[in-house]
Structure 1
Amino acid sequence: MSDDPEPAVNISGGADGGGIAAEFDPATADTRAEAVVDRLGELYWQKTYGGQDAFTCLVRTILSQNTSDKASQPAHDALIARYDVSEVDLAASIAAAEQSELAETISSAGLYNQKSEILIATAEWVLEELGSAAEFDAFVKDEDPETVRRTLLEVRGVGPKTADCVLLFAGGRGGVFPVDTHVHRIYRRLGIAPPDADHEAVRAVLERDVPAAKCGFGHTATIQFGREYCTARKPACLDDPEACPMADLCDQVGVYPDAGEVVDPAETIE
């Protein structure tokens, strides 16, 4: 494992985004999913997450929805610069924001009108239900994780991936494997999850087959792997089966090197 090559432009915040580097004793993987995650850890990083402020993490994850980290990171930075005012609770600051001004601030993230409305409504919910961003942070870190997840999923604009990212990056909860588009694509393409599995079904497979301590870096390293090797339209194996570090572990579901074609794994079901 290298020191920590985790990109800063990433929902996890890179080396400075919370959590600590961790080593795991080498052992024979019990499942193919664990073998994949072990190899990802050797390829990229092994890290135990947690420690981010929960409301800031929630805001950052909402901004990342349906856009790239490269686009959402500047929006997050601009929002924090404008609304994270000294001695003013961030939730209170956003709840009191003018929607058009907030939308302009986060415009680089895409869908900024919708996201600004969601952020204001989320901040209002935090104040109404818990009183402050600080109390929300305590709720995420101290309450039963299933209660936290269930509660977050009742909030407008918060889906399973967003709730799980808050549990992972802020709460430091082991055994949480958020499923974004990369994770959803890759583990179906590998043949580890059924080709027609939805995001929640993929999550269930991974949280069952990957040890709790490895789920966090399994999530972030899978994203990096998806960007560098297993892209949606042109995975590395399409031109060269040996170009991918997962070649011996992958079923290549939906990838047809001989024909030079790639389809969603779900389309392979007859």
Structure 2
Amino acid sequence: MPEEPAENISGGPDGGGIESAFEPSPDPATRAEAVVDRLGDIYWQKAYGGQDAFECLVRTVLSQNTSDVASQPAHDALMARYGEGGEEWEDDLAVSLADAVRDELAETIASAGLYNQKSKTLIRLADRIVEEYGGAEGFDEFVTGGDPAEVRSTLLDMKGVGPKTADCVLLFSGGRGGVFPVDTHVHRIARRMGLAPPDADHEGVRECLEQDVPPEKCGFGHTAMIQFGRDYCKARKPACLDDPEACPMADRCDQVGVYPDTGEVVDPREASDVAD
């Protein structure tokens, strides 16, 4: 199995955005903010916004249930074929994908996994965006200029778009502050560290983080927490299991569901110290 890339490329120059940094607070207002500040010192920092909304949606659909190392080549192949200058280009990416032959699109994005399902999703989304917004440009205007709550609600109404996908479009295209997308890494880490209740679902974790992390730091927190999950706070073998000092966040973590004494790791909601 190929290794994850060294940098999370969801944002920043390699993801179509711009690189930036933020200043950690000398006196964080919440524990979650303190965690994000420290992660910001460890990982590559980015600013958000500036990506084309439909291409961002495409990229995020391709990333569902897979890693950057698998989804990035699929995105590049799709853009080479259906994007500007590609053999299937029709002056607009949404129009190009709406008219795509599904089997050919599936073959093009095969490296992303679940390519049959994802090709159907992309064509269906492209059809709707062409019908409702006239194409990628009109959709981009809606995402970047519309009310964030309305944009999120509209995205969630699209079959194949879940909360994480909708929030990534708001964050990476719309540049919306206060949006903290929750993937499997963020969901696990926030509960394990005690930043959200052990039994919180993805939406519950999102609500906790967006409440406790300043709006301008949510994007940084999202990508840095993903990388932290890949490097240290892994699902089955977190770094603290063998050596508490191996984790740079050890003093900020409640270790919910992690038992170094026995070597056991369980989902936080299944932890023995969680009240029924």
TM-score by length of 2: 0.92
Cα distance in structure 2, aligned partners of 1:48 and 1:208: 20
The answer to whether the 8 A contact 1:9-1:73 is kept is no
Q: Which of residues 155, 158, 170 in structure 2 aligns to 1:155?
A: 158
1:19 and 2:29 matched: no
Q: Does 1:250 align with 2:239?
A: no
Q: Distance in 2 between matches of 1:8 and 1:46?
A: 10
* Partner-residue secondary structure (3-state), 1:222: helix
Q: Does 1:129 align with 2:132?
A: yes
The residue type equivalent to 2:144 in the other structure is K
The one of 154, 173, 189 equivalent to 2:176 is 173
Cα offset for 1:19?
2.8
Deviation (angstroms), 1:8? 5.5
CA distance in structure 2 between the partners assigned to 1:13 and 1:22 by the alignment? 11
Task: Give distance in 2, aligned partners of 1:19 and 1:141.
Answer: 16
Is it true that 1:91 corresponds to 2:90 in the alignment?
no
Residue number in structure 2 paired with 1:61: 60
Report the alpha carbon displacement of residue 45 of structure 1 after superposing the two structures with TM.
Answer: 3.3
1:210 to 205, 210, 213: 213
User: Which residue of the other structure, out of 182, 186, 199, is the alignment partner of 2:185?
Assistant: 182
Deviation string for 1:119-147 (max 9, x for gaps)?
Answer: 00000010011101011111110001111
- Kindly provide the CA deviation profile for residues 201-220 of structure 1, in whole angstroms up to 9, marking residues without a partner as x: 00000000000010001000
Name the residue aligned to 2:33.
Answer: 34
Counterpart contact for 1:44–1:221, Cα < 8 Å: yes
1:194 corresponds, among 179, 184, 197, to 197
Residue 55 of structure 1 aligns with an amino acid whose one-letter code is F
Deviation at 1:50, TM superposition (A): 0.8
Matched, 1:237 2:240: yes
Cα contact 1:8–1:16 (8 A) shared by 2:
no
Distance 1:214 1:25 in 2: 9
Take 1:47 and 1:98, find their aligned partners in 2: how far apart are those partners? 36
SS in 2 for 1:78: helix
2: CA distance between counterparts of 1:83 and 1:47?
Answer: 28
Contact 2:8 / 2:227 at 8 angstroms: preserved in 1? no
Secondary structure of 2:66 counterpart: coil
Q: 1:123 to 1:221 in 2, by over 3 A?
A: same
Residue 180 of structure 2 contacts residue 219 of structure 2 at CA under 8 Å; is this kept in 1?
A: yes
Matched residues in 1 for 2:93 and 2:16: separation? 18
Single out whichever of 20-29 and 161-170 deviates more from structure 2.
20-29
Counterpart amino acid of residue 23 in structure 1 = F
Q: Which amino acid aligns with 1:126?
A: I
Q: Tell me, which stretches of 5 or more residues in structure 1 are unaligned?
A: 1-5
Q: Percent identity?
A: 70
Deviations 1:21-73 (Å, cap 9, x if unpaired)? Answer: 03325321111100000000111133321111110000000000011111111
Q: Secondary structure at the match of 2:160?
A: coil
Taking the aligned partners of 1:112 and 1:45, their CA distance within structure 2 comes to: 30
Question: 1:58 is paired with a residue of what secondary structure?
Answer: helix
Distance, in Å, in 1 between the alignment partners of 2:249 and 2:203 is: 23
Q: Return closer, same or farther for 1:34/1:17 CA change in 2, 3 Å cut-off.
A: same
